[in-house]
Structure 1
C-alpha cells in the first residue's frame, strides 16, 4: 500500500465519521514556544488550550512535521527521521476515550477492500498509562483485546506533551508484533523493536509547565475541556504495510536514497557506514526541501540554522560517500517529483527551492575549504606544543564560526593522529544552548505565559477592529492587566495593558507595526505605546496613564494618531507595490519572505541568490513609481481561502490564515495579496518611493529598504545636499561628480602602484644589505635584526622572504622584528638547507614571541607572531641568536 493511499484512506475514513479535513499547516509554527511544527496537533493548540473557539468539533489532517532533537540518530535506527508526516484525528471537547479507541481500532483492522488498513487483530498489542483503568476497560471489554495483550507503562512512555508548556495527557499506544525475527517476546514492555508502536491515542486533558521533555514536569491544571489527539506517523505505517525494514525504504524516501547512491557511486546495503550516510542524505534533503518550500531560508539562527545544519549534513555525507561534484540540484528535483503530488506547492516553487538549496551547497563547499585551512593551522599548533588533543574551543570555533560539523572535525583529527577534547566542545555547545533556551524563554513570555488572564477576557468575545474605516471608536474597557494579573484600576504614571471591546488601533502583524494613539476617558488620558494580538483575536493595548484614573467597565474613546496612520498606510501599500515590481523585473520566483513597515519606511526580504545590479535596482524603483503615478485603485475583498488561492493571491510564508481571508488588490491582478494591514485607497497616495539599500541577509535571501511619502522626499533632499557639498569640494558640476571621482581614484591607484614600486626597490636594497651583513652561526647564515622603522606584518613578511631568497646557495635563517601600530611583531623564514639542519621558523617565532610577551606560530619554512612589550624587540632578537647557536652547537 503506497503512502499516498494510506493517507487518503485515513482522511476519508474520518471524514465519513464527521471530521473536517484540515490541510497541513506550514512548518513555520504560529506559536512562540515552537521553532517548527513538531507534532500533528500543534496547529490546533489554541483550540485545545481554549484560547480560540474551534471552528469545528472534530478534525482530521495529515500534518508536515520536523523534529531535530535526535538528528544524530537519523539513519542509525529504523525509525528516526527529521521530517515526517503525522496523520491525526482530533476532538475539541466533542468525544473522548469512548469513541477515540473504537475509531482507531476500526480503521486499522477493517479490510483494505472496505477502506481500512487490514491489520490482523492477533498481531496488535495495547499499552495504557499506569493508572488509566478506563482506557484498559474499553480495550478489554468493548474492543475485545485479550487482557494479556494490554500492558501499562509509565510517564516517559505513556504520557504525552509537546516537550514545552502546553496541553498534555495520558496515552494509549497500539503496537504491532513483527515476529520473533525482530527480538524476544513479552510485549511492548519487553521489546519495542519487535512490538512496533504504530498508533498513539492521546487523551488530552491537562496543562503542563516548564520542565524535562519526557517526565518530571509539573501538571498545572486541567484544560477547559477533554480533547482527543490520536494518529500515526505515515512513514512508520508505510514501512510496516510495505514490509520494508526502515522508514527510508518506503516508496517515497527510497527514491531519493537510490538517486543519492547513484550520484555517489555507493551501493546501498553494502556496508553499515554507507547505509547510514545514504539514509541521512535522503532524510535531510527531503527535510530541506519541505522547509524551503514553507519559506525557511538558511541562516545562523532559529529555523534558518536548522535548515542550514541539515542541508550541510546532507552535502557532507555525499562527500563522505565519494561524491565531490554538486549534487543538490538533482536531489532537490527528485524530492519534488516524489512529494509534489501530496504537496503541489513544491512543484510551483521548484525554481525558488532549487536556487536556495544550490546556493547553500556552494557556500558550504567554500566553508569546507576555509574550515580545512583553519583546522590544519590548529592541528599544527597542537603538534608544535607536543600535544595530541585539539582543544574544545578550537572545535567549537570550527563548528560555530565556520559551520564545520563536529563529526568532520573528529574524522580529520583522527586522520592527523589527534583526538578532540569533546568534553570541552560539548560544554561550550551546552552554554550556547543555554543562551538559546534563555532567549526562547524570553520569547515565550509573550506567548502562553499569562494565557489564563487572556483566556478569561477572550471568553467575553474577540476585540472588534474598527480601524479599516474609522480612526476613533467609543469602547468599553474589558480588562486591565499589570504584570500578568488583572487589576481593577490604573492611575497616573502606571504602565498597564488594556483590553477593549472594540478598537481602531492596528495591532502589530503582517510586518506592519502597531498604531500610535490615545485612549481618552472621563478625567483620564492614556498614551498607547504598543498594540499586540493574543490568539489573533484579542487586542492588547500597552498604555501609559498620563493623567487621571481608569477602571474596568469604563467607557472610553480610542483614537489613532492620524499622521501616524497616513504614514503607516503609505508604507504598507508601498511594500505591496515594491513586491509586485520585484516580481515584474526579476520574475515570479522573487517572492517576499518577510517584511517590516512603519510610517515612511519599508523593508522587504525576498528569495534571491545574487546582489541586484544598480540598473536592476533602478528598474524596480521606476516600476514602483510608475505604479504610484498611474493612480491604481486599491480594493479589498473578503473571500474563502481556497478562492483567494485560485485567484493567484500571494500569501506570506509562515503566516497562518483563517478560512475567510482578506485580499488586497492594487491595480487588480497587478498586485494581489492576502493581507490584514491598513492601506491607501489609490496608489498615488503612497507618494514618491525611493530605494535606499539592497543587501544580503542570508544565503538565498536579499533585503530591500525604501522610504515613501515625505520621508522619501527628505531622503532625496539629503542626497541632493550631499551631492552639492561634494560638487563644491571637487569644483565640478554635480553631473560630473562620478567622472571626477573616477579620475581621482585612477590617479590614486597609479600613485599607490608607484609607491609600491619604490617600496619594492627599497626592500630589495634592504635585503641585499642584510645579506651582506649576515652572521654565520654553526654553519648557517643568520639574519636576525630589529628594524628601527615601523612596519606592517605584510611588509615584514615580504622582506624576510626577500632576504631568504638571496641566500638560496647556503643554509639560511631570517628573523625580523618591528613595531606595527605600537605593538611588536616578529617574522621568521628558514630555507630548505636550514630546515635540514633542524631549524624551524615556527620554533624561532615562538622563541621571540615569548620574550615579546605574546605568541605565534606557523609552518617550518615561514611563521609569524607578535607580543605586547614594545621595548622587548631587541632582547627578542638576542634570544633568537642564542637559541640558534645552541641548536647548531656540535
Structure 2
C-alpha cells in the first residue's frame, strides 16, 4: 500500500536547495568565543546548517539525507555519506547535478560491543559531505573545506584557528601537497604524507578509487605527544576527509592489496566531515557524549536511575553512554521503518533497544544496592528516553516529531517484551548455575553463556554479573570463540553479497533514457518497444524459445511489485510470432520496470515492437486484495483508534495481510466489528477515486502515509468513500468498493514487539473459505444430531466432559502410583547400611510425578540412610528419579553420581544435585539392571 515514489535519494531534485533557491535560509547566529567548554554556545544543529549553507552558496545542490535503509545488496544500513551517490560514482546512472552537498544519517554496528566502553565508538553519526561529478577537483575541494573551517563566524565559517589544523596527503600526491602549501598557506612541516592504508580510498570492491587528503585538529599537549597525526591520533583527531576519486581499482583485499588499473573517465570529489567531531571541538568537550545532543539523554538517564555520570564509576559511565547512543540510533531506525525482529535489521534494532533496557536495569540495581530507590525501579523508562532523543534530534530531522507516537510505542513495546525475556533468562541462568554447582564446577560453560545470549537475548555482561553474585565465573574464552564463529559466518555472508551492485551497470543507458511509462492504471494491453534484453548480467541482441531473461520496455501495463502488492503476471507478444510469459516484474531505482520472462515461442529482439498484456483475472484479484487492505485499515482505525497505523502489508489475488501498531491482541468482539465495518463499506458501493497532488496538500486533506516511507513531492492519493479511507498509494484498485466482494478475517497474530497482523480473504476466495466453514459446521451438526446453531454449545459440553474424564483418569493414575510407591518401602532391601527403595512403577507416570513420589518416600525414611530410585514408562520414554536422605549423603552417596552411572543401562542420560537427580532413557528392559547397579554402588 505504500506510495511508489522514490525515497529521498539524490534523484529527487525537487526537494533540493540550490544557490539560487529563494528558500535558502539566513545563517543562524553562531557565537564561538574560543574553544573552551564554558564559553561556547554553538549547537550541533547550527554546525549542520552552516555546512549546508556554505556549499549552497558555492553552487551545490542540497540533497536531503536518504533513509538509513536503501536498496543496496551490500549494506544493511547506510554507513557513509557517499552511499546514496554510489550509482553516480559507479557510472550506473547519470547524476542530475554536477555538484551536491548533504548531511547524511549513518549507522555502523560492527563494533556495537565497544560502544560505551570507549568514547570513540558510536552507532549513529551524521556525515556532512560535498560532491563533484566531473566538475571541480582537488583545488576547489581543498579550498571549500579550508574556508568553512577557518573563516570567521561573521563570514559563514566555523572560526577555527588555522594553526590547529594539520593536513595529510597520499605518498605521491605532489599536487595536493602543493595546493595546501603554496595556495592555502599551510607550512610544509604541518603537511604529512601517508600510505594507502591511511590516505587512499576505495569501496572495498573493484570500482572507483583515489588518494585522499585528511584534515586533523590538534587538541593540544594535554591529549598526547607532538608530531602531527603520524605521531598521535588521540591528540590530532581527523575531522574531514577529502577523496580525490580519479582512478579505477582491480580485484584484491584489504586497504592496500589491490591493483590500480588506470584513470577514470571523469574525476570526482567525495568528502566527509564528521558533524559530531566538529561539535566536540566547537563545544570544547572531550567526546561526543558530552555534546548538546547526547548529554541531555545521559542527564535524563541519571535522573531515572539515580546514578551519576562522570563520577569515577567506569561501569556506570559505560552504561550511560550505551543508553544515549543506542536510544538515539534506535529512534532513527524506527523512524525509517525498521521494526524489532529476530534477523537482519530488525535484530540489530532489537539488540540496541535491549542493551538500553539492560543498562538501565544495571544502573537501577546499583542505586538500590546503595539504598536508593530510583524512578526506574517502579516505572518503564524507554518512553521517556526515546522522547528525549526526539526532542534533541527533531530540529534537524522533523520526521521524528511527525512519527513520535509510533516510534515511542515501538520502543516501549520492545522494553515490555524484553522485561519478560529477562525474567525467562534469569530462570535459565539459575538452572545453568545450579547445574554448574551440582557438578562441583565453578565456571559456567561458554556454551551456556552463548545460548543465553544468542537464543534468549541475554547479554553476556549481565550473565557475568549474575555469575559473580552466585560465586561463579563464566568461560569467556569459550563464549568469545562461539561469538567469533557467528560473526565469521555473518561476515562470509556479507562478503558473498559483494559486487551485487555490478550487475546494475548493464542497465545504465536504459536508466538514462528515462523511466518506464506505467500504463496499467488505464489499460491492460499496451503497445511497447523492447529497449533491452538482459541475461546473466549482459545485454542480448535477441533471445529464443526456452530462454529466461529480463525484458525492459519503454511502457508497460504490468504492475511492478511494490507497496505490498505483488507483481502482475501476463504476456509479451510480437507480430513475428514471439510469445513470452511474464512471471515477475520488479523496479530498478523505482523508475525502470524489469520484466522477468520465459520465451515460450519464437524469438524476441531488441528494438522490436510488442504487445504487453496483463492477465486480466490476476489483475482483478490483485485489485480486490489491495482495495480490501485499505478497507481493513480504515476499519481497524475505527475500532482501535488513530494509533492503529500501518506497519506493513502484502496483498495478492484473493488475499490480504495487514500489519499494524497495537499494544495487544484483538478481542473476538473487535475482530468481528472490524469484519462487519469492512463489509458494510463493501455493501455501500463507495466510489474509488485516485488523483495526484502535492505531499503537503495530501497530508492536509487527511491522507494517511505509510509509516517509515519517504515520499516524493508529488503523490498519488486513493480515496474510498470520502472520509472512510484516504491513503497515499501507488497500487492498482477496484473502481468501486462493491467489486471487492466479501471480506473474511481468517487470523490475527503477533509479528513483533507492538505490531499485530490480520489476514483476510476477499472476493471468491472469501466465498470459498466461508463455503468450507459452512460444510464443516453442517458435518458437525449432523454428527452431533443438533441444529447448526446448537453446535458450539454441544461441542463445549463435550470438551468439558472430556476434561473431567481426563482429570478423573489422572487422579486414578496418581492414586495407583502412590499405592505402588508405598509398597516399595515394604519391599526395600538394605545394601550395607543403606536402605534402597525403588523399582518400576506403572506406565504413564511422568518425570514431575516421579519427583513428587520420590520426595514423599524420602520423607518416610528420612531417619535412616536411604536411596529412593523410581522408574516408569511414558510416551515411549523411560523417566527415572533418584533421591537421597541426609544421612546417605553424609555417607558420600550422591544422587547425581548414581544417575550418571545407571542412565546408560536404560539407554539414556541424566544429572542433578546430590539430594535429587533425574534423567530419561528409551529402554525399559534395563530397569532391573539399573536397580542392581544402584545396590552395588551403595554397598561400596
TM range (shorter): over 0.9
Other-structure match for 1:493 = 546
Equivalent position to 2:136, from 85, 95, 114: 95
Contact in 1 for aligned 2:438/2:914 (Cα 8 Å): no
Residue 594 (1) aligns with residue 635 (2): no
Q: Deviations over 1:490-513 (max 9, x none)?
A: 221111221222221111122111
CA distance in 2, matches of 1:176, 1:669: 58
Q: Post-superposition shift, 1:876?
A: 1.4
Residues 316/70 of structure 1: CA separation in 2 closer, same or farther (3 Å cut): same
Other-structure match for 1:376 = 430
Deviates more, 1:295-304 or 1:144-153: 144-153
Residue 698 (1) aligns with residue 744 (2): no
Residue 333 (1) aligns with residue 387 (2): yes
Q: Post-superposition shift, 1:147?
A: 1.8
CA distance in 1, matches of 2:687, 2:92: 38
CA distance in 2, matches of 1:845, 1:377: 18
Q: Post-superposition shift, 1:218?
A: 6.7
CA distance in 2, matches of 1:379, 1:202: 54
Other-structure match for 2:512 = 459
Contact in 2 for aligned 1:767/1:802 (Cα 8 Å): no
CA distance in 2, matches of 1:583, 1:169: 54
Deviates more, 1:672-681 or 1:634-643: 634-643
Residue 152 (1) aligns with residue 193 (2): yes
CA distance in 2, matches of 1:827, 1:768: 16
Equivalent position to 2:352, from 301, 310, 321: 310
Contact in 1 for aligned 2:106/2:127 (Cα 8 Å): yes
Other-structure match for 1:272 = 314
Residue 83 (1) aligns with residue 124 (2): yes
Other-structure match for 1:175 = 216
Q: Post-superposition shift, 1:293?
A: 2.4
CA distance in 2, matches of 1:684, 1:221: 64
Residue 70 (1) aligns with residue 123 (2): no
Other-structure match for 2:21 = none
CA distance in 2, matches of 1:646, 1:95: 42
SS of residue in 2 equivalent to 1:113: helix
Q: Post-superposition shift, 1:860?
A: 3.2
Residue 472 (1) aligns with residue 525 (2): yes
What does 1:350-389 align with in structure 2 at a 5 Å threshold?
350-385=404-439, 387-389=441-443
Contact in 2 for aligned 1:776/1:782 (Cα 8 Å): yes
CA distance in 2, matches of 1:514, 1:163: 34
Alignment size in residue pairs: 885
Other-structure match for 1:293 = 335
SS of residue in 2 equivalent to 1:826: strand
Other-structure match for 2:901 = 847
Contact in 2 for aligned 1:377/1:858 (Cα 8 Å): no
SS of residue in 1 equivalent to 2:873: strand
Q: Deviations over 1:327-379 (max 9, x none)?
A: 32322232223223333333343332232222222222222232233233334
TM-score w.r.t. the length of structure 2 is 0.89
Other-structure match for 2:33 = none
Contact in 1 for aligned 2:817/2:842 (Cα 8 Å): no
Other-structure match for 1:230 = 271
Q: Post-superposition shift, 1:407?
A: 2.7
Q: Post-superposition shift, 1:477?
A: 1.8
Contact in 1 for aligned 2:648/2:660 (Cα 8 Å): yes
Q: Post-superposition shift, 1:554?
A: 2.0
SS of residue in 2 equivalent to 1:819: coil
CA distance in 1, matches of 2:750, 2:712: 32
Residue 773 (1) aligns with residue 827 (2): yes
Other-structure match for 1:256 = 297
Q: Post-superposition shift, 1:317?
A: 1.8
Q: Post-superposition shift, 1:162?
A: 5.5
CA distance in 1, matches of 2:912, 2:240: 59
Equivalent position to 2:503, from 413, 429, 450: 450
Contact in 2 for aligned 1:786/1:877 (Cα 8 Å): no
Residue 733 (1) aligns with residue 787 (2): yes
CA distance in 2, matches of 1:595, 1:638: 22
CA distance in 2, matches of 1:414, 1:217: 48
Q: Post-superposition shift, 1:118?
A: 0.8
What does 1:564-575 align with in structure 2 at a 5 Å threshold?
564-575=618-629
Residues 654/359 of structure 1: CA separation in 2 closer, same or farther (3 Å cut): closer
Q: Post-superposition shift, 1:754?
A: 2.2
Runs of 5+ unmatched residues, structure 2: 1-41, 366-376
Equivalent position to 2:73, from 13, 22, 32: 32
CA distance in 1, matches of 2:158, 2:195: 29
Q: Deviations over 1:412-460 (max 9, x none)?
A: 4455555544454344334434544565567678x52412212243234
What does 1:637-648 align with in structure 2 at a 5 Å threshold?
637-648=691-702
Q: Post-superposition shift, 1:9?
A: 1.6
Deviates more, 1:151-160 or 1:723-732: 151-160
CA distance in 1, matches of 2:427, 2:263: 57
Equivalent position to 1:8, from 37, 43, 49: 49
Other-structure match for 2:778 = 724
For CA contacts below 8 A with separation 6 or more, give which structure has more relative contact order. Answer: 2
CA distance in 2, matches of 1:119, 1:595: 51
CA distance in 2, matches of 1:856, 1:140: 76
CA distance in 1, matches of 2:480, 2:258: 25
